[in-house]
A = this chain, B = another copy of it.
Amino acid sequence: MSKMTHIRKLLTPEREEIILAELGGEARTITELSQKLGVSEATVRRDLLSLEDQGKVKRVHGGAIKLKFPEHEPVFEEKESIRPSEKQKIAKLALGMISDKDTIYLDGGSTVLELAKLLKERKGLTVVTNSLMAAAELMESGHNLIIVGGKFRPLSRTLVGPLTSKIINSLNIKKAFLGTIGFTVEGGISTTDSDEAYTKELVMQRAEKAILLADSSKLGKKSFAASGSISDIDVVITDPGVSPALVKDLRKMGIEVVV
């Protein structure tokens, strides 16, 4: 294992302090910060990237501004979860699979939610979802929004269970974008809640194409309730942290893997 992905673990607390002080209210450009800190612009960019992942700063073209309050409260378990920027990259790849006027399904989960945020770049979509967070994000988007009814599950803020079949089975979905807690080659996707698993299974069977959005921390993990089998999945989008062996296995099974 020689090739390690270049993930920045931490920046010096000293520099973090200076940056946050500089950003105290006002926006600062990369150049300003670079001079103030006496380091290269490349380093400043990396520092800001790190601070953005921590939710302390928002990067904008040309510089950054400080955020007043942490973006995402951990509504649901994110202990094993990966950096937000990785999720955004996964979401961006997924966005590439969506064209104007598509009919898509959005599942719950933070990665899929990132995708929802990007959907303003498309026009005239029909979006079906069981996620109230995604729905909130798309409320004012102008897209045609259909919400799958069902039992509300507070932890994930999704609609789940048998009732969801009433509407899902009456719709024709082109592409379904799913999140998951765990994913293995043998068992397919799995979740902590069986109602949640049921609804995922339903969607996968109903959609022309089932696309799994899962950062590498999810791959190889198994959770309580399985959803269908691995053959229900057509595409897996993940980040470079995934083990090459797993990728090979999946491709052998005819599953497209995007990193």
Contacts and interface: CB of A to CB of B under 8 A. Distances in A.
A2 interface: no
A140 interface: yes
Contacts of A151: 144-146
Chain A interface extent, by class:
35 or more
Interface stretch (A7-15, A34-42, A101-109): A7-15
B133 A159 contact: no
Interface in A131-151: 132-133, 135-137, 139-140, 144-151
Contact of A139 (B7, B146, B157, B167): B157
Given A12-B61, A147-B149, A154 B139 contact: yes
A163 B150 CA distance: 12
Interface in A178-219: none
A148 B149 contact: yes
A70 interface: no
Contacts of A121: 7
Interface in A1-49: 7, 9-10, 12-14, 26-27
Q: Identify the 6 closest CB pairs spanning chains A and B, nearest first.
A: A149-B149, A166-B166, A145-B152, A74-B136, A149-B167, A13-B27
Interface of A: 7, 9-10, 12-14, 26-27, 55, 60-63, 65, 71-72, 74-75, 121, 132-133, 135-137, 139-140, 144-152, 154, 157, 159, 163-164, 166-167, 170
Contacts of A13: 27, 60, 65
A157 B55 CA distance: 27
Given A163-B146, A163-B167, A72 B132 contact: no
Given A139-B152, A145-B151, A163-B170, 8 more contacts: A71-B140, A74-B133, A74-B137, A75-B132, A132-B136, A145-B154, A146-B150, A149-B167
A140 B72 contact: yes
Residue of A145, A154, A167 most packed against chain B (CB within 10 A): A167
A12 B14 CA distance: 27
A8 to B, nearest CB: 10
Contacts of A75: 132, 136
Contacts of A26: 14
Nearest to A5: B121
A65 B14 CA distance: 10
A147 B140 CA distance: 20
